[in-house]
């Protein structure tokens, strides 16, 4: 099984929207996934994503963006890391995460940040294994603008 990790292309948008929906179901929040192919096209300048491809099928993704934190400086924010259930435990998530980490290092980011659901113990173990520190200090704040 050959796993290709590459940057997303516009031709992938339908497949990635399907995976966004799959991830929202996994998180038990399908009603929160409102993105669309059209929105991705409109937002293409802001949409950064690595995809994992097996036999031309996208089986996982990592979305990210650059951020600036007042205490540390230029940073990378990992928005989502997701691998379809049937493709887990094959190193795909690690390959995707390594791609984002490598990009952040090449861009001289000072740190990376991301969230993990408090119920997702498997993901927490994975992140701790790679050396991430998980705290319980900060809570998410979402303000809908539309």
- Helix, strand, coil % in the chain, rounded to nearest 5: 35, 25, 35
Cα–Cα distance for residue pair 53/72, rounded to 1 Å: 34
Catalytic residue among 13, 61, 127, 129: 127
CA distances from 28 to 13, 83, 97, 133 (A): 22, 16, 23, 25
Residue 127 falls in the annotated catalytic set: yes
Cα–Cα distance for residue pair 129/103, rounded to 1 Å: 20
DSSP for 63-83? EEEEEEETTTEEEEEEEEEEE
Cα–Cα distance for residue pair 88/83, rounded to 1 Å: 6
Q: Specify the pairing of strand 73-83 against strand 111-114.
A: parallel
Q: Provide the annotated active-site residues.
A: 127
């Amino acid at each position: 099984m050959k796993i290709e990790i590459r940057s997303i292309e516009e031709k992938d948008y339908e497949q990635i929207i399907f995976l966004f929906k799959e991830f929202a179901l996994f998180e038990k929040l399908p009603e929160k996934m409102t993105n669309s192919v059209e929105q991705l096209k409109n937002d293409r300048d802001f949409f950064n994503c690595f995809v994992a491809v097996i036999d031309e099928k996208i089986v996982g993704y990592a979305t990210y963006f650059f951020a600036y934190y007042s205490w540390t400086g230029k940073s990378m924010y990992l928005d989502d890391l997701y691998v379809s259930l049937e493709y887990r435990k094959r190193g795909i998530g690690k390959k995707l995460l390594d791609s984002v980490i490598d990009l952040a290092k090449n861009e001289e980011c000072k740190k990376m940040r991301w969230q993990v659901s408090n119920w997702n113990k498997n993901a927490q173990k994975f992140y701790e294994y790679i050396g991430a520190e998980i705290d319980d200090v900060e809570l998410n704040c979402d303000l809908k603008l539309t």
